[in-house]
Amino acid sequence: MTEKQILNPADGIAWMEGDFIPLSEAKIGVGDWGLVRSDATYDVVSVWDGAFFRLEDHLDRFAASMKALRMSVPQSRDDMRQILIDCVRRSGLRTSYVAMVCLRGTPVRPTRLPSACENKFIAYARPWVWVFPEPVIQRGAHLIIPKSIRIPPESVDPTVKNYHWGDMTYGLFEAEDAGADNALLADADGYICEGPGFNVFAIINDTVVTPNRGALEGITRRTVLELCQTLNLPSEIRPISIEEFKQADEAFACTTAGGIMPIRRLDDRIYGNDAPGPVTLKIKNLFWDWHARPDLRLEVTYDD
């Protein structure tokens, strides 16, 4: 791997084709199918207080996504893990948003067959990203159900992380036009799915419920279900209609880049006292406590 002096490593470090480079210099070709066809998969893991949280779970999901899309790269799992660690170590970031990406690449011979493409692995560490700004997390988010509906899972498998964000992007525009913080998409049958980069939960009759359709099986979502077991809170994965979600006692979103994010309004529905609910806050607090668990942490050894 090439050693290269990077003047401002805290702005982000990327790894491409054997080199560690400034994130601002990381580029892909205009013919790469990852660009022209959104033919790529990725995963994002957090570094908090100098340690990865649930890195092995993210590597598992990344491998499953690549297999589902019939992608393969020469880097082994151990190679990928070390590259991710090195991106963070070289950046010096104690709190970081760390991505692993597999691009379809470009065909190695004149053809339109995806099997002729040489897949590529890319990784990068950048300063922390909050899906909801911190003040929104503190007060609770105002979401809308946009007219844009979730892409059917028969078309694009939502359990494989992908860049097919047309539905999400339109939903974000609708939320911005409405003066809301973000969007929560439903499917064509009126069932709740997910938002742009986050899963959702509702507390209904003392049970913590999350949708079973049209949504990524998030690592943070999995953590929430485990937290519920620890807190002796009943939980379910099942269909939730828009109306049932709106009638819930509490609601919250969750994601790697933000953790547990309370929802205080959905369209005209106001939850509780227009503030984060008590069950949500209990789950949120324990979620951040779990970042100190040795079995879920991988410490980064920095250069300084």
Residue 42: which pLDDT band, with cuts at 50, 70 and 90?
A: very high
Q: Is a pLDDT exceeding 90 seen at residue 6?
A: no
Strands (E), the chain: 13-16, 19-22, 40-48, 51-53, 96-103, 120-127, 141-144, 182-183, 185-186, 192-194, 199-204, 207-210, 235-237, 250-255, 259-266, 269-270, 297-299
Average pLDDT over residues 134-145: 97
Percent of the chain whose predicted confidence (pLDDT) is above 90: 95
- Average pLDDT of the chain? 96
CB 239 within 8 A of CB 211: yes
Q: Is a pLDDT exceeding 70 seen at residue 103?
A: yes
Query: For residue 5, what pLDDT is reported?
Result: 64
Average pLDDT over residues 275-295: 98
Residue 54: which pLDDT band, with cuts at 50, 70 and 90?
A: very high
Residue 3: which pLDDT band, with cuts at 50, 70 and 90?
A: very low
Domains and CATH numbers, the chain: 9-127 (3.30.470.10), 134-291 (3.20.10.10)
Residue 27: which pLDDT band, with cuts at 50, 70 and 90?
A: very high
Q: Is a pLDDT exceeding 80 seen at residue 2?
A: no
